Amino acid sequence: MHDARKTRKCLEDFEDGTTFRYRVPGLTAEEIKAFAAQYDPQRFHLDEHAASETHFGGLVASGFQTQLKCFGPFCREALLDTSAVGAPGIDNLKWLRPWYPGEDLNVVVTLTGKRMSAKRTDRGYLSVSLLADVKGEPVLSMEWVIIMLTRQGQADAHAKAAGVAQA
């Protein structure tokens, strides 16, 4: 109950063209290897020596780890106190350059579009574009769409949650 009554940002509170900028601290070799062991154990993410014999020339982060490290701060800064209810997917995730240990990433996330659902008044869609670079060299880009409730949608959700709690 407590959570459902909280005032959250809704679709109406976001503006097309808004940008979020942040820095992602470089990973240590240990962080890269620990992630790889769990999720993506290709040799160039897992072992310095084996990686040095590939075209990467040394250990590089899994592209999935890069993706997560880029997404996390945006999620914390822009999504947590909102009525975002997920995303249908990710479009055009590109790994443009390997991410080596110790390299800080500069990330810019831009809200590139905002539209109402054609069918429902309770929600709309924010188009988002993320670009990460190391000293101006693009490392990762991705685009996706966030499903965000409108004020009407949030009011409906509160009413439903209250009804459930009373039942």
Residues that bind a second copy (CB under 8 A): 3-4, 38-44, 47, 49-50, 52-56, 63-64, 67-68, 71-72, 75-76, 79-80, 84-95, 98, 157, 160-161, 164
Q: Residue 37: how many CA atoms within 13 Å on its side-chain side?
A: 7
Which of 50, 45, 86, 88 minimizes the C-alpha distance to 64?
45
Angle between helices 63-74 and 29-39 (to 10 degrees): 110
Q: Choose between 17 and 163: whose C-beta lies nearer to a second copy.
A: 163
Q: Choose between 49 and 135: whose C-beta lies nearer to a second copy.
A: 49
Q: Choose between 14 and 64: whose C-beta lies nearer to a second copy.
A: 64
- Least distance to a second copy from the beta carbon of 4, Å? 4
- Least distance to a second copy from the beta carbon of 151, Å? 16
- Least distance to a second copy from the beta carbon of 106, Å? 19
- Least distance to a second copy from the beta carbon of 52, Å? 8
Distance CA 49, CA 33 (A): 12
Beta carbons of 124 and 11 less than 8 angstroms apart: yes
Q: Choose between 17 and 151: whose C-beta lies nearer to a second copy.
A: 151
- Least distance to a second copy from the beta carbon of 72, Å? 6
Question: Residue 69, exposed/middle/buried by CB under 10 A (0-12, 13-18, 19+)?
Answer: buried
Tokens of 9: 């940002």
- Please write down the HEC assignment for all residues of 8-26: CECHHHCCCCCEEEEEECC
> For tokens 């069918």, what's the residue?
119
Q: Choose between 108 and 161: whose C-beta lies nearer to a second copy.
A: 161
